[in-house]
A and B are shown apart, each in its own frame.
Chain A
Amino acid sequence: MSDTHSQTVPFVRETMIPQAEPPVGNRGVILWMRENLFSGWFNIITTLISLYVIWWALSHTMPWVFRGIWNASSLTECRAIRDATLPEGTSAACWAVLTDRWQQLLFGFYPRELYWRPVLSLVIFLVAIAPVLFPRVPRGALLFTAVSPFVMFWLLWGGTAWFPISIGLGFVLGWAAWRALAPMAGTLVASIVAVALPIVYWLYTAGPLARELEQVIPFRMEYVSSQDFGGFMLSFIIGIAGIILSLPLGILLALGRQSDLFIINKISVGFIEIIRGVPLIVWLFTASLLLNYFLPPGTNFDLMLRVIIMVTLFAAAYIAEVVRGGLAALPKGQYEGADSLGLSYWQSMRLIILPQALKISIPGIVNTFIGLFKDTTLVVFIGLLDPIGLSNAIRASTEWNGIYWELFVFIGLLFFICCFSMSRYSLYLEKKLQRGHN
C-alpha cells in the first residue's frame, strides 16, 4: 500500500493527530475574561471602573447589613446595643424589628393560633399549581388543582365548609348542563345555559343551601374576617387570584377584540380601553367606595373580593393587549391552515392559534403578572394592610418608631424573590416551547 502511495500521491496521512485542548490562555475562565473584560484599553478601563463602583457600593452597605442587631425589643434598645458594642459613629441595621414583628409582616392581624391555615393554603397552592406549570407532573393531579381553590378559600376564611362546597357545586351544575344540552340543543344554547344556570344558582340557592346543610351536618372552622388579613398573605391572595383569573379573561377579551361579531368586538374594545385608560388606584377607590352605591342596600360584599375583582379586570385588559400582539404576530397561514382542515373556530383557537400566540406573548404576560403582583401594594390606600401598610403600622408603635430601611429591605427582598421566580419560570417556559427553527 505505502509503496503505491508514495508513487501516486505526494502526501498521505498515516496517523491522525488526536484532538487536544486549546492552550491555557484560550480556554475556560481565562479566555472568557480576556474576551469579555480585558479585550481592549476601553474595555479594561470600564472593567476597572465597574469593579470600583461595585466594591464601593458593597463596602458601604454590607457592613451595615452584617453588623445588624437581631436581638432587641425596640429601636432604642437596638441603638443602645449598637453604641455599646460597636465603635462610635458606625451604622448597623436593626433587624430585630423583623424578629419581633415578622409574623405581622407575613400574616397581618390573622389570629396567631391559626397561622397554620394560610401556611397550609400556600402548600396546597404550590402542589396544585405544579401540574399546570410543569408537564412532567401526572395529569391526574389536575383534579386536585380544580378542587384546591375551594379548599384554600375555606382554610383562609374558615366558617362553614358547606359554603365553598355549594359554590363549587355551581361549576359542576354548569358543566352538567353543558354535557346534557350540547348534543341535543347545540353549542350556543348549551353554553348560554351553562353560564346562566350557575349564576342564578349562586345568587339565589347557594347561600341558603349552605346554611341548610350546615344546620343538618355542622362542619365549620373558626371564621376569620377579611379585615384581619394582611401582610404578604394579603399580597399573595390578591396577586395569585388576580393572576389566575385575569389570564383566561384577558385571552377572551383578546379574541373578542379580533372577532368579526360587531357587538362582541365593540364590548371588548370598550372594556379594554376604559379599564386600561384609568389608573388602578382609581379603580381601587371605586371598588372600596363607589361600588356600595350600586349594590343593593344591605349587601355586604367583601372588600377583599372587590379588590380582587378590580385587580383582575385591570390586569385582564393589559393581558388582552399582550395576547392580541401574539395573535397578530401569527402568520395568516396558520388561521387558513386550521380553517382548511375544517376545524371549528374554538377548536382552531384552542389547538392551533392560542398555543402559538400565547407562546409569543409569554414575556409580555409575565411582565403584566409581575406588575400586577407589585401593584397589590396599592391596596394600602383603601385601608387594606398590605406589607407597606403594615410597615406603617409597625412604625406607629412606640417601640419601632423611626425604623424605615430594615422593613423596606425585607419587603423588597420578598417581592424580588417572587417576581424573579416568575421571570425565571417564563424563561424556562420559553425554552421548553422552542420548536426547531420556527
Chain B
Amino acid sequence: MTDLANTTAERTIDRSHMQVSDEVAIEISQMNKWYGSFHVLRDIDLTVYRGERIVICGPSGSGKSTLIRCINRLEEHQSGKIVVDGIELTSDLKNIDKIRSEVGMCFQHFNLFPHLTILENCTLAPIWVRKTPKREAEEIAMHFLEKVKIPDQAHKYPGQLSGGQQQRVAIARSLCMKPRIMLFDEPTSALDPEMIKEVLDTMIELAEEGMTMLCVTHEMGFARQVANRVIFMDQGQIVEQNEPEAFFKAPKSDRTKLFLSQILGH
C-alpha cells in the first residue's frame, strides 16, 4: 500500500455539480445480518442523501462489502429496514428487481459476461429490463463507452481487455441503466497500480456529475478528494464517520487510528 494516497493527487476536481441535496436516497435503520451464527452486520444506521459520495473503509471481514451488497439485495438482511429510493427492500421480487435496475453496481472482479461483446454487455440490461429498442440501447451504450474512453473496444470480448478496461466497461454497463445510485465494491483491488488510476479517474468524473455513490475502497486519495463522508467499519459496526478532512487528520476512535496508521503508514 505504498503511496496510494497520491494516486489521484494531480487532478483538480470540478465541484460545481457535486451538491448534496436534502432528499434521502438510501435509508438504513437498525439493520442486522448473520451468516449462520456469525453476526456480520450489527445495528447499522445509515442515511445517504442524494448526491453524496460516501467511502466505506475498514479491515477485511468488517462487513463493509456485505453492507453495500445488502442495498441491492445481493445479500439478504435479517432484521431492520432498508429503503432505497423510497422503496423498501422486502422479499417481494418486484421491488427487488425495481431497486436493482435503479442501483448500479461495480464489483471487485468486474463480473462482465465473457460470452458477450463489450457492446452486448452494455445493451443487455437496457434491452431486457428497460425494454429499450436495440438501436437506442446501442447508442446509449456507445455514449457511455466513449465516456469511459473505450468506444473502440466495443466489439471485442471482455477476455481480450485489460483489467482496468474491463472495470471501466463494468462502470459503463451500470451507467447504461441510468442508475440513480452507484455502488462500488472494491473496484480497484484486483487491478495493477497503473490501471487503478484509469478506473479512479472514471469514478471521479462520475462524482463530478453529481452521482450518488457508495464506495468500498482502500483508495484513501480518492476518499480524500472525492468523498463528502468517510465511514469506518469494524466488526460489523460503523465505528466512525466524518468528513474526509477531519477523518484523516483527527480520527477519534483508537481502532480508526490504528487502521489509518496501518494503511497510510509506510
Whether A347 pairs with B128 at a CB distance below 8 angstroms is yes
Task: Give the chain B neighbours of A333 by CB distance below 8 A.
Answer: 107, 109-111
Whether B114 pairs with A436 at a CB distance below 8 angstroms is yes
Whether B74 pairs with A340 at a CB distance below 8 angstroms is yes
Whether B125 pairs with A336 at a CB distance below 8 angstroms is no
Whether A343 pairs with B115 at a CB distance below 8 angstroms is no
B97: interface (CB < 8 Å): yes
A414: interface (CB < 8 Å): no
A331: interface (CB < 8 Å): yes
Whether B100 pairs with A436 at a CB distance below 8 angstroms is no
**Which of A331, A340, A437 is the one whose CB lies under 8 Å from B100?**
A340
Kindly state the separation between the CA atoms of A415 and B66 in the bound complex, as whole angstroms.
55
Of residues 112 to 132 in B, which have CB atoms within 8 Å of A's CB atoms?
112-115, 124-125, 128-129
Kindly state the separation between the CA atoms of A336 and B174 in the bound complex, as whole angstroms.
13
Task: Give the chain A neighbours of B158 by CB distance below 8 A.
Answer: 435-436, 438
Q: Chain A: interface secondary structure?
A: helix
For A353-367 the 0/1 string (1 means CB < 8 A from B) is 001100100000000
A352: interface (CB < 8 Å): yes
Whether A342 pairs with B74 at a CB distance below 8 angstroms is no
Kindly state the separation between the CA atoms of A314 and B45 in the bound complex, as whole angstroms.
54
Whether A334 pairs with B113 at a CB distance below 8 angstroms is yes
Most buried by B among A331, A334, A337, A437: A337
B173: interface (CB < 8 Å): yes
Whether A341 pairs with B177 at a CB distance below 8 angstroms is yes
Whether A331 pairs with B156 at a CB distance below 8 angstroms is no
Task: Give the chain A neighbours of B67 by CB distance below 8 A.
Answer: none
Give the Cβ gap from B211 to chain A, nearest Cβ, in Å. 16
Whether B74 pairs with A341 at a CB distance below 8 angstroms is no
A–B Cβ pairs within 8 angstroms, 20 of them: A333-B107, A333-B109, A336-B74, A336-B111, A338-B113, A339-B74, A340-B100, A340-B107, A340-B111, A341-B125, A342-B97, A342-B100, A343-B125, A351-B128, A356-B114, A359-B115, A435-B157, A435-B159, A437-B160, A438-B157
* Chain B residues within CB distance 8 Å of chain A: 72-74, 93, 97-98, 100-105, 107, 109-115, 124-125, 128-129, 156-160, 173-174, 177
Kindly state the separation between the CA atoms of A355 and B121 in the bound complex, as whole angstroms.
14
Task: Give the chain A neighbours of B101 by CB distance below 8 A.
Answer: 341-342
Kindly state the separation between the CA atoms of A331 and B115 in the bound complex, as whole angstroms.
13
Kindly state the separation between the CA atoms of A347 and B112 in the bound complex, as whole angstroms.
16
For A305-345 the 0/1 string (1 means CB < 8 A from B) is 00000000000000000000000000101101111111110
Give the Cβ gap from B155 to chain A, nearest Cβ, in Å. 12
Task: Give the chain A neighbours of B124 by CB distance below 8 A.
Answer: 341, 343, 351-352
A433: interface (CB < 8 Å): yes
Task: Give the chain A neighbours of B74 by CB distance below 8 A.
Answer: 336, 339-340
Give the Cβ gap from A103 to chain B, nearest Cβ, in Å. 46
Kindly state the separation between the CA atoms of A435 and B114 in the bound complex, as whole angstroms.
7
Kindly state the separation between the CA atoms of A344 and B131 in the bound complex, as whole angstroms.
13
Task: Give the chain B neighbours of A438 by CB distance below 8 A.
Answer: 114, 157-159
Most buried by B among A339, A342, A352, A436: A342
Whether A355 pairs with B129 at a CB distance below 8 angstroms is no
Kindly state the separation between the CA atoms of A47 and B73 in the bound complex, as whole angstroms.
62
For A425-438 the 0/1 string (1 means CB < 8 A from B) is 00000000101111
**Which of B110, B113, B114, B129 is the one whose CB lies under 8 Å from A342?**
B129
Whether B97 pairs with A344 at a CB distance below 8 angstroms is yes
Kindly state the separation between the CA atoms of A339 and B177 in the bound complex, as whole angstroms.
13
**Which of A334, A342, A355 is the one whose CB lies under 8 Å from B125?**
A342
**Which of A338, A340, A356 is the one whose CB lies under 8 Å from B72?**
A340
Whether A342 pairs with B159 at a CB distance below 8 angstroms is no
Kindly state the separation between the CA atoms of A251 and B128 in the bound complex, as whole angstroms.
22
Kindly state the separation between the CA atoms of A48 and B57 in the bound complex, as whole angstroms.
68
Task: Give the chain A neighbours of B93 by CB distance below 8 A.
Answer: 344
Whether B111 pairs with A334 at a CB distance below 8 angstroms is yes
Whether B107 pairs with A356 at a CB distance below 8 angstroms is no
Give the Cβ gap from A348 to chain B, nearest Cβ, in Å. 9
Whether A343 pairs with B107 at a CB distance below 8 angstroms is no
Kindly state the separation between the CA atoms of A436 and B158 in the bound complex, as whole angstroms.
7
Kindly state the separation between the CA atoms of A351 and B113 in the bound complex, as whole angstroms.
10
Closest to B99 in A: A342
